[in-house]
Structure 1
Amino acid sequence: MTTFQPDAGRLVADLSMMVAIPTENPPGCEAALVPFVSDALRTAGFDVEIDEYAPGRMNVVGTLSNGTGPVFALNTHMDTVPAGDGWTRAPFEATQEGDRLYGRGTCDCKGSLASMLEAARLLAATRDTWSGTLLAVFVGDEEVASAGARHYAKHCTPIDFAIVGEPTSNTLFTAHKGSLRPIVEVAGVTAHSGTPELGRNAIYDAARLMMRIEKHHDDVIRHITHPLVGNASLCVTRISGGKADNVVPDACELLLDRRLVPGESEDAAKQDIQTLLDAVAASDGVRARITGYKPTTGGATQTAAEAPISLASLEAVRAVGIQDAGPFGFQGACDLVHFCDTGASGVVIGPGNLAHAHKPDEYVTVEELVDAARIYIGVVRRLMAPHMTAGQ
Structure 2
Amino acid sequence: MSDASEPDLSRAERGVLDLIDETAIVALTTALVEAPSENPGGTEAAAVDVLEKACLSLGLAVETHEVAPARPNLVATLPAGGGPGLMFLGHSDVVPAGPNWTGDPYRVRNHDGLLIGRGTTDMKGGLASVVVAMSALSRAGDFGVELSGPVRLVCTVDEEEHGIGVRDHVSRPADHEFLGCVVAEPTNMQVVRGCRGASYIEIDVTGRAAHSGRPADGRSAINAAAAIVEIIRADQERLAGSADDLLGYGTWNVGTIAGGQGISVVAPNCSLGIDRRLMPDEDPHAIAEQLRKTIRDRQIDTDGITVDVRVTMEMPGFATAADHPLVTTAVGAVTDAGAATSVGGWSAACDGGFVSRDLGIPSIVLGPGNINTEAHQPDESVAVADLVTAAKAYALAGLRMLGRP
Q: Shorter-chain TM-score: what band?
A: over 0.9
Superposed counterparts of 1:283-322, under 5 Å: 287=305, 289-296=307-314, 298-322=315-339
User: What TM-score do you get using the length of structure 2 for normalisation?
Assistant: 0.89
Which secondary structure state, in structure 1, belongs to the residue aligned with residue 121 of structure 2?
Answer: coil
Taking the aligned partners of 1:186 and 1:178, their CA distance within structure 2 comes to: 26
> Which of residues 92, 97, 101 is equivalent to 2:115?
101
Alignment partners' CA distance in 2, 1:265 and 1:291: 15
- 1:211 is aligned to 230
CA contact (8 A) 1:30 1:58 kept: yes
Distance in 2 (alpha carbons) for counterparts of 1:183 and 1:45? 46
Q: CA deviation at 1:300?
A: 1.0
Give the alignment of 1:169-208 within 5 angstroms: 169-208=188-227
Aligned-partner Cα distance in 2 for 1:135–1:332: 24
The root-mean-square deviation of aligned C-alpha atoms, in Å, is 2.0
Q: Which residue of 2 aligns with 1:390?
A: none
Q: Is the 8 A contact 1:159 1:342 kept in 2?
A: no
Determine whether 1:136 maps to 2:150: no
Letter in 2 for 1:268: A
Q: Judge conservation of contact 1:101–1:366 (CA < 8 Å) in 2.
A: yes
Shift of 1:223: 2.6
C-alpha distance after superposition, 1:79-136 (max 9, x if no partner): 0111111222321111111121111111111111111111121112334532311211
- Secondary structure at the counterpart of residue 361 of structure 1: coil
Question: Counterpart of 2:230 in 1: which secondary structure?
Answer: helix
How far is 1:6 from its partner? 1.6
Q: Distance in 2 between matches of 1:285 and 1:22?
A: 52
Q: Give the superposition deviation at 1:42.
A: 0.9
1:271 and 1:225 map into 2 onto residues whose CA distance is 23
Partner residue in 2 for 1:383: 401
1:152 paired residue number: 169
Where does structure 2 lack aligned partners over 5 or more consecutive residues? Answer: 1-11
Structure 2 distance, partners of 1:386, 1:66, is 11
Q: Distance in 2 between matches of 1:28 and 1:243?
A: 34
> What is the aligned partner in structure 1 of residue 252 from structure 2?
234
Cα distance in 2 for residues equivalent to 1:224 and 1:361: 39
1:194 CA displacement: 4.2
Residues 159-185 of structure 1 show CA distances to partners (whole Å, capped at 9, x for unaligned) of 322111101001100100111211111
Partner in structure 1 of residue 354 of structure 2:
338
Structure 1 Cα separation of the partners of residues 198 and 308 of structure 2: 16
Gap change, CA 1:302 and 1:286, over 3 Å in 2: farther
CA contact (8 A) 1:186 1:286 kept: no
What is aligned with 1:110?
Answer: 124
Distance 1:345 1:174, change over 3 A: same
**C-alpha distance in 1 between matches for 2:154 and 2:110:** 28
Residue aligned with 2:298, SS: helix
Classify the secondary structure of the residue corresponding to 1:104: coil
Alpha-carbon separation, structure 2, partners of 1:182 and 1:349: 29
AA at the equivalent of 2:390: A
1:34-53 to 2 correspondences below 5 Å: 34-53=48-67
Counterparts of 1:224 and 1:46, CA distance in 2 = 47
Are the aligned partners of 2:318 and 2:352 in contact in 1 as well (CA < 8 Å)?
yes
Structure 1 unaligned segments of length 5 or more: list them.
388-392
Residue 244 of structure 1: how far off its partner (Å) = 4.8
Residue correspondence of structure 1 range 269-284 to structure 2 within 5 A: 269-281=287-299
Pair 1:233–1:146, CA change in 2 (3 A): same
Contact 1:224/1:232 (<8 A) preserved = no
Identity of aligned residues (%): 33
Aligned counterparts of 1:157 and 1:48: Cα–Cα separation in 2: 14
Decide which moves more: 12-21 or 246-255. Answer: 246-255
Shift of 1:284: 9.2
From the superposition, tell whether residues 270 and 146 of structure 1 become closer, same or farther in structure 2 (CA, over 3 Å): same
Aligned equivalents of 1:290 and 1:221: distance in 2? 24
Pair 1:207–1:285, CA change in 2 (3 A)? farther
Q: Which residue of 2 aligns with 1:57?
A: 71
Equivalent-residue separation in structure 1 for 2:319 and 2:39 (angstroms)? 27
1:283 Cα deviation (Å)? Answer: 10
Deviation at 1:246, TM superposition (A): 4.6
For 2:76 and 2:217, the matched residues in 1 are separated by: 65
